[in-house]
Amino acid sequence: MNVLITGGAGFIGSHTADLLKKKGYKIKIMDDLSPPVHNGEWPDYVQGKGYELIKGSVTDKKQLIEAMKGVDYIIHLAAYQDQMPDFSRFFMVNTVSLSLIFEIILEYKLSVKKIVYSSSQFVYGDGIYISEDGQEFFPELRSEEQLKNKGWEVTDIKGRSAKFVPFRENQKINPTNSYGLSKMASEAMALRLGRTYNIPVSILRYSIVQGARQSPRNIYSGALRIFVTQALAGKPITVTEDGNQLRDFVNVEDVARANILMIESSKTDFEIFNVGGGKGYSIKEFAIMVKEITKSDSEILIDGRFRRTDTRNAVSDIFKLKSIGWLPINTPEKSIKDYVNWIKEEGFDVEKIVENIDRGHRRLV
């Protein structure tokens, strides 16, 4: 069976390719190798493994037609991920690319058996909260003024405290930025076009994915990259808000298994699944884990900095995916260790990365 992985030179794609190879699949990777994740060259970890490597963009129809020929399954991972105000680019790369995939299947009568679309926990936004009097509500983004006054918690319209509810696949989605909006549009498109033209699709909403090969150059790659590089550079580990915001972390090898389950189980056709670690950690707890694993002397600095469109809590309920036999096997500690080892082996200049993180954060919206 032939599998095309778009964005396969990236973090999740390359781990998915390695696992597919072990299982005997033939793999094509399409990637534009663009900065900041890449420097135009194929990374070592996809070379010499027998993968067919196609340098091209998922936004270019001609290149995509070539990549899609003779393919049984498509795992669509290529994406623009950031928090910048170039709003249209998110839709061009993340959404228009998916519409091209459907268009090409119909136009060239390709016998693609399934499309797996990589969505994100980000589509939930702040999700659902329950107020003190038991009312469920979908909070609006916390205002800049609230955040400047260190009002970190989500409150109901009367300003009273409220309880966060872990995200379930069937709840209303409410993304807080263009990245999440582009994923939301793609999900809707995948389900509609998939059903109309009888092309099975599965949608995976990953939580924060962690492990080796997560590009330290990608501004968007989150707490693991930021904390590990700061810890290794001996710089303060900078935690946003008060550090009590919750997140769930899932290891990339577990995510690769989830991707493959989508192409191997017809029970997943036209379904959406959360793919998460199953447990919420506070960001402060996670910073402490990184500090311990890296044996760093860095202080953990919690000085009230914040990012305008961050959600307060983001933890996914993974009951649905567990009910079809998937479990997150690897711990966040393993992900941190794998990432630290990889950063050291590759010889990244951690001081420079930390400088870029500081510069990058000043550009975020």
Ligand X SMILES: NC(=O)c1ccc[n+]([C@@H]2O[C@H](COP(=O)([O-])OP(=O)(O)OC[C@H]3O[C@@H](n4cnc5c(N)ncnc54)[C@H](O)[C@@H]3O)[C@@H](O)[C@H]2O)c1
**Choice between 118 and 294, CB closer to ligand X:** 118
Query: Does the footprint of ligand X cover residue 93 (CB under 6 A)?
Result: yes
**Measured at CB, which residue is nearest to ligand X?**
10
Q: How far is CA 312 from the centre of its chain?
A: 17
DSSP type of residue 96: I
Cα distances (Å, whole numbers) of residue 286 to 44, 116, 222, 283, 359: 30, 30, 12, 5, 23
Contacts of 358 (CB under 8 A, 6+ apart): none
3-class DSSP state for residue 249? strand
Query: Does the footprint of ligand X cover residue 189 (CB under 6 A)?
Result: no
Query: Does the footprint of ligand X cover residue 57 (CB under 6 A)?
Result: yes
For ligand X, the binding residue among 9, 75, 193, 302 (CB under 6 A) is: 9
**Choice between 178 and 218, CB closer to ligand X:** 218
Given a contact cutoff of 8 angstroms between Cβ atoms, the answer to whether 167 and 235 are in contact is no
> Which pair of tokens denotes residue 235?
């710089």
Point out which span in 32-40, 106-114, 163-171, 309-317 binds ligand X (CB under 6 A).
Answer: 32-40
Query: Does the footprint of ligand X cover residue 10 (CB under 6 A)?
Result: yes
> Which pair of tokens denotes residue 170?
């069937």
Site string for ligand X, 60-79 (x = CB under 6 A): -----------------xxx
Least distance CB 115 / ligand X (angstroms): 13
For ligand X, the binding residue among 3, 13, 219, 268 (CB under 6 A) is: 13
Query: Does the footprint of ligand X cover residue 99 (CB under 6 A)?
Result: no
> Which pair of tokens denotes residue 118?
């990589």
> For the chain, how far is it from start to end, CA to CA, in angstroms?
43
For ligand X, the binding residue among 215, 230, 294, 330 (CB under 6 A) is: 215
Query: Does the footprint of ligand X cover residue 81 (CB under 6 A)?
Result: yes
Point out which span in 55-63, 153-161, 280-288, 332-340 binds ligand X (CB under 6 A).
Answer: 55-63
Least distance CB 204 / ligand X (angstroms): 8
**Choice between 120 and 296, CB closer to ligand X:** 120
> Which pair of tokens denotes residue 300?
């953990």
CA 282/CA 292 separation, integer angstroms = 16
Given a contact cutoff of 8 angstroms between Cβ atoms, the answer to whether 243 and 302 are in contact is yes
Query: Does the footprint of ligand X cover residue 202 (CB under 6 A)?
Result: no
Cα distances (Å, whole numbers) of residue 106 to 68, 100, 114: 12, 10, 13
**Choice between 9 and 283, CB closer to ligand X:** 9
DSSP type of residue 162: E
Least distance CB 90 / ligand X (angstroms): 10
For ligand X, the binding residue among 31, 253, 271, 338 (CB under 6 A) is: 31
Q: Indicate the angle between helix axes 350-361 and 222-233, nearest 10 degrees.
A: 130
Cα distances (Å, whole numbers) of residue 136 to 131, 139, 155, 166: 6, 10, 12, 13
Query: Does the footprint of ligand X cover residue 32 (CB under 6 A)?
Result: yes
Q: Is 109 exposed, middle or buried (0-12, 13-18, 19+ CB in 10 A)?
A: exposed
Query: Does the footprint of ligand X cover residue 37 (CB under 6 A)?
Result: yes
Neighbours of 242 (CB within 10 A): 15
Query: Does the footprint of ligand X cover residue 206 (CB under 6 A)?
Result: yes
Least distance CB 186 / ligand X (angstroms): 9
Least distance CB 110 / ligand X (angstroms): 19
**Choice between 93 and 350, CB closer to ligand X:** 93
**Choice between 35 and 70, CB closer to ligand X:** 35
Binding site for ligand X (CB under 6 A): 6-7, 9-13, 30-34, 37-38, 57-59, 77-81, 93, 118, 120, 206, 208-209, 215, 218
